[in-house]
Amino acid sequence: MNGLIRIAVPLLALCAVTSAFAVVWSKHEARNRFIELQGLNDERDRLDIEWGQLKLEQSTWAMHGRVEQVARDELKMINPKPAEIRIVEP
């Protein structure tokens, strides 16, 4: 019985110390993952804002009046006269 105690006590102490290290390591990893998650959430929010700005810019550039103005000014396009319009039947 005395020999069993001499083996069991150090073994249990080793298990307790190992468990304590495992808890510390696990907590450290959880904090690192949380910090990484926060960084990714910030990046997602930044990209969402940029996406909204790009969609707004796209809608501005694609407005009918803007397209018509560019066609007239830069491409020198004009509306055809009624006599110049031909309807093509399928």
**Residue ranges with strand state E in the chain:** none
Q: How far apart, in whole angstroms, are the C-alpha atoms of residue 61 and residue 53?
A: 12
Between the two ends of the chain, the Cα-to-Cα distance in Å is 103
Report if pTM > 0.85: no
What torsion, rounded to 10 degrees, do the Cα atoms 30, 36, 38, 39 define?
170
Average pLDDT of the segment spanning 67-76: 90
Express each pLDDT in 4-63 by its tens digit: 888 889 999 999 999 999 999 999 999 999 999 999 999 999 999 999 999 999 998 888
Say yes or no to pLDDT of 1 above 80. Answer: no
